Chain A
Amino acid sequence: MSDRQSSNAYWQANLRIIYVSIAIWALVSYGFGIILRPLISSIPVGGTDLGFWFAQQGSILCFIVLIFFYAWRMNKLDAEHGVDE
């Protein structure tokens, strides 16, 4: 039973990390890159605006950081809950 509870707590913690990461994933691509572009268009980046930068470069860099952050955070979580390999 304690095992089941621990794995349940582990899974809930994992889901929370996923929710936050997915929110950032959506914000930098669909948000800054597309929908919110008019709102941040006053910030200039090399001949264009910040939204264009996010759409063509910034979102991809954020995606990389997100995956490595998730991998690092999950390794810690695995160890805390004793489910690491």
Chain B
Amino acid sequence: MSQFTLNLLFIGASFALYIGIAIYCRAKSTAEFYAANRGVSPVMNGMATAADWMSAASFISMAGLIAFTGYDNSTYLMGWTGGYVLLALLLAPYLRKFGKFTVPEFIGDRFYSPTARIIGVICLLIVSITYVIGQMTGVGVTFSRYLEVSNSTGLWIGAALVFCYAVLGGMKGITYTQVAQYVVLIIAYTIPAIFISLQLTGNFLPQLGLFGTHEASGMAFLSKLDMLVTDLGFREYTAHHNSTLDMVLFTMALMIGTAGLPHVIIRFFTVPKVSDARKSAGWALVFIALLYTVAPAVGSMARFNLTATMWPGALTGDTYSQPAVSLDAIETSPDLAWMRTWQATGLLNWEDKNGDGLIQYYNDAATAGPVVDMAASQALAGNELTTVNNDIMVLANPEIANLPGWVIAIVAAGGLAAALSTAAGLLLAISGAVSHDLIKGTLMPNISEKGELNAARISMAASILVATILGLNPPGFAAQTVALAFGLAASSIFPVLMMGIFSKRVGKEGAIAGMIAGMLTTILYIFAYKGFFFVAGTNILPDTPDAWLFGISPASFGTIGAMINFAVAFGVSAISQRPPAHVQELVESIRVPRGAGDAVAH
């Protein structure tokens, strides 16, 4: 069976499953549409949260980010998991007890201010729309690579599928398709990892293989990798190179940003009880960790395989014990067919610059070490593996390791599952903010339950359309998901939610001033280095570590923005009136679990 037929079969089967679930789980009330009638078990919700959370970036890009940077990018691993501890301890149980449908609704009620609610809606929309564009482009790319359709056709097929289960089923349909999508994506991620770990280290658990022994050379795998990359003039894999301060702040921005993402928070509104919300965060992290502990193994092993393909001597002996791979082998050998496949996508490319018939992959910026002598003795004119995209570490992984065709097809279905499940969660957060906070909460307070359900479906359909169009023509800010979405969630949404629960003193003036201060300082700091609205050339300062204020990168500034938010909110609250008695009562009530079940009938 051809690879194309296999891909079609696996992707088609997974889509049939999602549509089947959508038809089975139609939403009949707003409680079902926004919160799956609060009837989702903690384990199921944990699985759905894991799929909701793990996006195209987690699935396709993260292993590559770690592979080519090494230890310094452990920030992503800690940052994107540590946020769940904050969710479980500081936000999820209390927001579940509050028992409403959206994040801005809590902000509006707790700070007794429609203005605060609208600012919450604005933050939510910026964060979620930035985020959803990346998912839609991910769907387009995966489709075009594996099903040989154009990018835009792929995008419309993905949009039509999300339309089926999100418009029909709302949160209820999305929850159960996300459970199915989690199963697909975790199988797709771990199968190639197990194979590769077995090949390299003889250990079938990638988590142990990473810290195990490289069988062919008998060295510890990470020592072998360190040696290989430093021989080629790259930075040592396991060593710490970047600023410690920035590493701490970036990890913190990712953690509190994760805890402040509305599409993740609303997942915890679907469980029956407060104690379930705590437990469910634990299950979510278990399911997330299944991928996040495999990712560093996938990254390091794929980098090893790629490098050893370029320098075959490295497999068993010294890096330079054999000549580099020949141009002839790359262009004709069946074992290296994957290089030609991926060259066609533009993610991988090479050029025999010095015309010696060999392709030497090395760091041509290195000034010391064996690589300098090698480059001089072979009369090299620069690195000859000219393009290696990060994403190739996961996408081409099965082919690099020579795995069977069905594994490649599963990876394709898994990449789509990761992108589609996150897109659906984001679209629900967006449409909920429009139909529940803007239409029902502000414009038409007297709308009937049935009217709101229709409004919710229409806003969902409109959100999908907008996201698809933005995915077809991604604006400049779409590439800045990490800085913009996590930065804003960290600097505006997380602090205001936390103060709403843990302080009875912070009132509407403090909350509004804090949110605006956190959001504006973060956006301005990012714009100063990345350009206003990310238009190239409009940046005030060069985007380099030397020019950053105290060495703080724009993507790490969310942490500082959050501190500014807290400081301004407490400062303004100290000189403004205490929140009224009914708000104090509200805070008292969300702090105790008893009575959460009553909110179902709301």
Contacts and interface: CB of A to CB of B under 8 A. Distances in A.
Our verdict on whether A and B bind, yes or no, reads yes
Interface of A: 7, 10-11, 14, 18, 21-22, 25, 29-30, 33-35, 37, 45-49, 52-53, 55-57, 59-61, 63-64, 66-68, 70-71, 74-75, 78, 82-85
B552 interface: no
Interface stretch (B33-41, B217-225, B483-491): B217-225
A55 B71 CA distance: 8
B594 interface: yes
B274 A37 contact: no
Contacts of A18: 89-90
Nearest to B209: A46
B99 to A, nearest CB: 12
A74 B275 CA distance: 8
A48 B282 contact: no
Nearest to A38: B240
A85 B78 contact: no
Interface residues of B, number: 52
Contacts of A78: 275, 593-594
A85 B82 contact: no
B281 interface: yes
A53 B82 contact: no
A74 to B, nearest CB: 6
A29 to B, nearest CB: 5
Interface stretch (B284-292, B354-362, B463-471): B284-292
B223 A47 contact: yes
A7 B592 contact: yes
A67 B222 contact: no
A49 B211 CA distance: 10
A35 to B, nearest CB: 6
B84 interface: yes
Given A29-B251, A67-B88, A85 B293 contact: no
A3 to B, nearest CB: 10
Contact of B78 (A10, A21, A33, A75): A33
Interface in B57-77: 66, 71, 74, 77
- Top 6 nearest A-B pairs (CB, nearest first) are A47-B220, A46-B211, A47-B222, A55-B74, A67-B282, A71-B278
26 contacts: A14-B591, A18-B90, A21-B85, A30-B248, A45-B211, A47-B222, A47-B238, A48-B211, A48-B220, A48-B223, A48-B226, A52-B71, A55-B78, A56-B210, A57-B296, A59-B81, A59-B82, A60-B77, A63-B81, A63-B285, A67-B282, A67-B285, A83-B594, A84-B594, A85-B273, A85-B593
A63 B593 CA distance: 23
Contacts of A66: 85
A45 B244 CA distance: 22
Contact of A21 (B89, B248, B282, B293): B89
B148 interface: no
Contacts of A22: 85, 89
Contacts of A61: 289, 293
Contacts of B296: 56-57
A85 B82 CA distance: 28
Nearest to A33: B78
Contacts of B492: none
Contacts of A64: 282, 285-286, 289
